[in-house]
Amino acid sequence: MSKKRKGVSSEKLSEVIVKGMQEKKATDIVVMDLRKVKNAVADFFVICSGNSDKQLDAIADSVDEEVYKTLKENPWHTEGKNNKEWMLLDYIDVVAHVFRKDRREFYSLERLWGDADIVEIENNH
């Protein structure tokens, strides 16, 4: 199965994912540009934190809804809906990561992908 998306740019998809995160008051939103990173699995990672299982669900659902409403795309793959520590919505060239606040440091994606250009999004609430 081909994993290539058609049409919309990965930058635009990243912006829509950020909007979905902001709708549910996600914190510490970061956009990691991986396009210049050798062997990167995507163009962008969009990472955020939430405080509770309920908020993580709400953020993931909001991202899903916002991307579908704006771009008519569904995630190619999702993970973590059950464990509520780290939820992932994979849109192929952009991957949204929704962490429970206390687990984000443990996984430290920002350090793992240290070569990426990282943009921190201001909290909008």
Q: Does the pLDDT at position 3 exceed 90?
A: no
Residue 42 tokens read as 């995507």
Residue 85 lies in a domain: yes
Residue 125 lies in a domain: no
C-alpha radius of gyration, the chain, whole number: 13
Q: In the prediction, which pLDDT does 6 show?
A: 61
CATH number of the domain residue 17 falls in: 3.30.460.10
Q: In the prediction, which pLDDT does 1 show?
A: 32
Q: What are the tens digits of pLDDT across the range 25-84? A: 999 999 999 999 998 999 999 999 999 999 999 999 999 999 999 999 999 999 998 888
Q: How far apart are CA 49 and CA 106, in angstroms?
A: 12
Q: Where in the sequence is the domain holding 14, given as residue range(s)?
A: 10-120
- Record the pTM: 0.91
How confident is the model over 108-121, as a mean pLDDT? 90
How many domains would you assign to the chain? Answer: 1
Residue 4 lies in a domain: no
